[in-house]
Structure 1
Amino acid sequence: MTRPVTLTLPFYISVRNMGGHKMVKGPSKFQKYQLKDDLYYFLGLGIIPAGLFITYLNVTQGPAQLVDTPEGYVPEPHEYHRLPLTRLLAKYGVEPIEKKHERTLYYLHKADEKRKSTILQMEVRCLQKEKPENKGWYYVPTQGQFKEREDMYGSQEMVKARELGK
Structure 2
Amino acid sequence: MASPVWRSFCSQLIKTSRFRELKCSKSLIAGSVANGCKTEISRGMASGPRKIVITPTKFQWFRFKNDLHFYLMLTGLPLGAWIFYANFIQGEAELAEIPEGYEPKHWEYYKHPIRRWFARYIYEDPVKLYEMEAAEAVLEFEEARCRARRKLVKDMIHSYDDYRAYYFVPAVDPRFTESVREGEKQRVHLESGTR
* CA distance in 2 between partners of 1:60 and 1:52 (Å): 11
Deviation, 1:61, is: 2.8
What is the letter of the counterpart of residue 83 of structure 1?
H
Deviation, 1:137, is: 2.2
Which among 77, 84, 89 is matched to residue 55 of structure 1? 84
Secondary structure (helix, strand or coil) at the match of 2:93 reads: coil
* CA distance in 1 between partners of 2:77 and 2:64 (Å): 18
Structure 1, unmatched stretches of 5+, are: 1-15, 23-28, 139-166
* CA distance in 1 between partners of 2:147 and 2:63 (Å): 58
CA contact (8 A) 1:62 1:84 kept: yes
Deviation, 1:96, is: 2.2
* CA distance in 1 between partners of 2:143 and 2:119 (Å): 35
Which among 140, 143, 156 is matched to residue 111 of structure 1? 140
* CA distance in 2 between partners of 1:31 and 1:137 (Å): 74
Greater share of strand: 2
Residues 97-136 of structure 1: CA deviation (Å, up to 9, x unaligned)? 2222212112211211221111111111111112223323
**Match in the other structure for 1:149:** none
What is the letter of the counterpart of residue 37 of structure 2?
H
Q: How many residues are paired up?
A: 117
Deviation, 1:77, is: 2.7
CA contact (8 A) 1:124 1:137 kept: no
**Match in the other structure for 1:131:** 160
Residues 10-57 of structure 1: CA deviation (Å, up to 9, x unaligned)? xxxxxx8223438xxxxxx99987875664454233333222222234
* CA distance in 1 between partners of 2:88 and 2:109 (Å): 19
Question: Does structure 1 residue 21 correspond to structure 2 residue 41?
Answer: no
What is the letter of the counterpart of residue 97 of structure 2?
D
Which among 106, 129, 134 is matched to residue 77 of structure 1? 106
State which structure, 1 or 2, has the greater radius of gyration over its C-alpha atoms.
2
CA contact (8 A) 1:125 1:137 kept: no
Secondary structure (helix, strand or coil) at the match of 1:70 reads: coil
What is the letter of the counterpart of residue 130 of structure 2?
H
What is the letter of the counterpart of residue 104 of structure 1?
E
What is the letter of the counterpart of residue 128 of structure 1?
I
**Match in the other structure for 2:116:** 87
Structure 2, unmatched stretches of 5+, are: 1-24, 28-33, 39-57, 168-195
TM-score, normalization: structure 1?
0.54
Q: 1:68 to 1:116 in 2, by over 3 A?
A: closer
Q: 1:115 to 1:66 in 2, by over 3 A?
A: closer
* CA distance in 2 between partners of 1:94 and 1:128 (Å): 51
Which among 110, 119, 122 is matched to residue 151 of structure 2? 122
